[in-house]
């Protein structure tokens, strides 16, 4: 089974993808990770990508497609979860071809639907312990004792620099403009399942399980 996880950055795609990997033995295909791995392994596509990145340029769709092709062959029989790809309609069309060439097709698409203002609250309030990495949130999950980590007692915390409102809103706009137009391709086939991404990770995971089970029964 091949699945696409769609949703704006911060919707929790990575968390859900990891869960599917752990519970179902599927393979997560995240382009960022794949790119780094291919460069490190020195594969033909990796070498090409490295040249482009070293020059400070963005890796083209053609390179990303070649990368996915390289990785797809090693996931036969396991099923792939696409996370952060396809990001544009052109990439979605390329993915259709890559899967088609291998006798595969996207089985279903999970769209994590989010409320933009709530997403801003969720992302801008999060921080982690600088020592052990334990995750916190100003409003939803503050440390039990203010200023010290519940897990290790450290007093230093850190935030990701891109966890600010402006960045979240820019990414959200980009998602609407470039990624959301992918959905009609799969809507036409009736394989899009929309899940409320603002629920807890456990609730979202249950909703994904329910969608995929319903899918298999069809």
**CB-side neighbour CA atoms (13 Å) of 21:** 16
Which CB, 104 or 131, lies closer to Zn ion?
Answer: 131
Q: Is 24 a catalytic residue?
A: no
Which CB, 105 or 152, lies closer to Zn ion?
Answer: 152
Counting contacts by CB under 5 A, is residue 158 touching Zn ion? Answer: no
Of residues 15, 24, 3, 33, the one with CA closest to residue 203 = 15
Q: Is 104 a catalytic residue?
A: no
Counting contacts by CB under 5 A, is residue 173 touching Zn ion? Answer: no
Of the candidate residues 97, 118, 132, 214, the single one contacting Zn ion (CB under 5 A): 132
157 φ/ψ angles, rounded to the nearest 5 degrees: -130, 160
Selected range binding Zn ion among 24-32, 54-62, 143-151, 167-175, rule: CB under 5 A: 143-151
Q: Is 87 a catalytic residue?
A: yes
The packing angle between helices 165-174 and 116-124, to 10°, is 140
Buried b (16+ CB within 10 A) or exposed e, 115-151: eeeebbbbbbbbbebeeeebebeeeeeebeeeeebee
Counting contacts by CB under 5 A, is residue 59 touching Zn ion? Answer: no
Q: Is 171 a catalytic residue?
A: yes
The answer for residues whose C-beta is within 8 angstroms of residue 172's C-beta and 6 or more apart is: 8, 116, 119
Q: Is 131 a catalytic residue?
A: no
Counting contacts by CB under 5 A, is residue 149 touching Zn ion? Answer: yes
Q: How far is the CB of 141 from Zn ion (least distance, A)?
A: 13
The residue annotated as part of the active site, out of 102, 131, 171, 178, is: 171
Q: How far is the CB of 149 from Zn ion (least distance, A)?
A: 3
- Cα torsion through 148, 150, 156, 159, rounded to 10: -120
Write out the catalytic residue numbers.
Answer: 13, 87, 126, 160, 171
Binding site for Zn ion (CB under 5 A): 129, 131-132, 134, 149, 151-152, 154
């Amino acid at each position: 089974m091949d699945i696409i996880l769609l949703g704006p950055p911060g919707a929790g795609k990575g968390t859900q993808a990891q869960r599917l990997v752990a519970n179902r033995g599927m393979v997560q295909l995240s382009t960022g990770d794949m790119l780094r791995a291919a460069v490190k392994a020195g594969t033909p596509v990796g070498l090409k990508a490295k040249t482009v990145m070293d020059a400070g340029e963005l890796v083209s769709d053609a390179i990303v497609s070649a990368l996915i092709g390289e990785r797809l062959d090693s996931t036969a029989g396991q099923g792939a979860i696409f996370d952060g790809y396809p990001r544009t309609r052109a990439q979605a069309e390329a993915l259709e071809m890559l899967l088609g060439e291998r006798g595969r097709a996207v089985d279903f698409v999970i769209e994590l639907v989010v409320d933009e203002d709530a997403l801003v609250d969720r992302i801008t309030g999060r921080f982690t312990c600088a020592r052990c990495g334990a995750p916190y949130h100003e409003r939803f999950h503050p440390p039990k004792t203010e200023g010290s980590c519940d897990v290790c007692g450290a007093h230093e915390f850190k935030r990701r620099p891109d966890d600010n409102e402006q960045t979240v809103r820019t990414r959200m706009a980009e998602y609407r403009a470039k990624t959301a137009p992918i959905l009609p391709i799969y809507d036409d086939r009736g394989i899009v399942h929309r899940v409320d991404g603002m629920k807890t990770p456990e609730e979202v995971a249950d909703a994904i399980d329910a969608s995929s089970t319903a899918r298999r029964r069809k």
